Amino acid sequence: MPSFSQLNLEELLNRASSGNLRAMGKVLSLLENPYEIPKNLLESLAKRSGNSQVIGITGIPGSGKSTLISRLITSLRRNGHKVAIVAIDPSSPISKGALLGDRLRMQEHATDPGVFIRSVSSKGLKGGLSLAALTMIEAFDAFGYDKIIIETVGVGQSEVDIMKAAHTIIVVTMPGAGDDIQALKAGVMEIGDIYVLNKEDKEESRKTYEYLLFALEKGDIGLSDSSWRPRLLKTSAIMGKGIDDLAISINDHYDHIKKTGRFFEKVISRRTLMMKLLAEQLLIENVEKIYDGMQDKLNAVARNADKIFIASIEIAKRVCSEIDNLDVN
């Protein structure tokens, strides 16, 4: 087999489309780095995407999301679906690197040709996190994975953005997490389509279940879509309990949004968001480039405290002319 480094974009895409793992992995790497996305790549992918159900799974750290996803994969595979997972790491702010721990819980599916797991580190992406997630959705959709699962921890603006791009939002909690649930409010907690109380094998699970039920009935949570009645389910990912019910609810939600037209609306809104984020990326990238190139001048301005505002306008103007020169064909 010829070396991958010698392929052009079209050959790479052809291989990826025929199910070659390495080629798919490479395409995802291209998308992961917003500074290097080849222009035609997104077009080629998006032309073939728009069919898959994107399932966002979010919730407090350690609630069992990855373990639950692994069980869910088994259930979805039994029903003939191809499943892709984008596992976004809640990386620690302390070190520059990241230990991406989600895959470990799903590794039993590694050699299943109908399952593709990709871990994404928020490190080094600098705000490009949601962009990477959105472009990866287009890729997996184009490659024929009809169920795309995104795992995130539900905090931070980019994670909320990512969840809003999903067709079906699942919020996972665990017994005794009342305070954490409060903390998540105003984030993604409120917009779940399906709420899952995992670790129902634990003692305190009844109390938390009643708390959640109350919040749901009161209308504090479950506000994503007025035509869908949000559900509350109990699972034990460890024991494998409640998984089929979860898969059924996911499927019911799919049928529902297909009927109401919300399915395609979501595809449109996630792509418009992708364009906005790409534009932002383009600006940021060029601001940094121009800024780096103007260091001497900016230092002089700073030293003399003269024309500071005008200098910043000059940066912006140069960014605009740089972008003006971009080849858009």
Partner 1 sequence: MLSPQYTKEKQYKVLVAKLGIDGHDRGAKVIARALRDFGFDVIYTGIRQTPEQIISAALQEDVDVIGISILSGSHIYHMKKLMEGLRSLGADDIPVVIGGTIPIIDVEELRRIGIREVFLPGESLRRIADVVRELAKEKREKESYRG
Q: Write out the residues near ligand GTP by the rule CB under 6 A.
A: 61-67, 90, 101-102, 105, 153, 198-199, 201-202, 236-238
Q: How far is the CB of 105 from ligand GTP (least distance, A)?
A: 5
Q: Which of residues 56-95 bind Mg ion (CB under 5 A)?
A: 65-66
Of 102-110, 154-162, 231-239, 308-316, which part binds partner 1 (CB under 8 A)? 102-110
Q: Which of residues 142-181 bind partner 1 (CB under 8 A)?
A: none
3-state secondary structure of 86: strand
Residue 276 as a binder of partner 1 (CB under 8 A): the answer is no
Residue 288 as a binder of partner 1 (CB under 8 A): the answer is yes
Q: Which one of ligand GTP, partner 1, Mg ion, none interacts with residue 7, CB within 5 to 8 A by kind?
A: partner 1
- 87 or 267: CB nearest partner 1: 87
Residue 133 as a binder of partner 1 (CB under 8 A): the answer is no
Residue 224 as a binder of Mg ion (CB under 5 A): the answer is no
Q: Which helix (H) or strand (E) holds 76?
A: helix 65-78
| C-beta separation of 257 from 201 below 8 A | no
3-state secondary structure of 5: helix
Phi, psi at 218, each rounded to 5° = -75, -15
User: Residue 221 — left, alpha, or beta (φ > 0 → left; ψ -120 to 50 → alpha)?
Assistant: beta
Strand partners, 170: 57, 194
Q: How far is the CB of 226 from Mg ion (least distance, A)?
A: 31
Question: Which residues are CB-contacts of 37 (< 8 A; sequence separation ≥ 6)?
Answer: 30, 31, 135, 278
Residue 33 as a binder of partner 1 (CB under 8 A): the answer is yes
When binding is defined by CB under 8 A, the residue of 77, 103, 241, 318 that contacts partner 1 is 103
Q: How far is CA 139 from CA 75, 127, 269, 297, in A?
A: 23, 20, 16, 43
Phi, psi at 85, each rounded to 5° = -125, 130
CA distance 192 to 121: 24
CA distance 216 to 230: 8
Q: Which one of ligand GTP, Mg ion, partner 1, none interacts with residue 97, CB within 5 to 8 A by kind?
A: partner 1
Six-digit token string for 226: 């007025």
Residue 235 as a binder of Mg ion (CB under 5 A): the answer is no
- 88 or 142: CB nearest ligand GTP: 88
Residue 248 as a binder of partner 1 (CB under 8 A): the answer is no
Residues found near partner 1 in the complex (CB under 8 A): 1-7, 12, 21-22, 24-26, 28-30, 33-39, 95-101, 103-104, 107, 110-111, 116-119, 121, 123-124, 126, 281-282, 285-286, 288-289
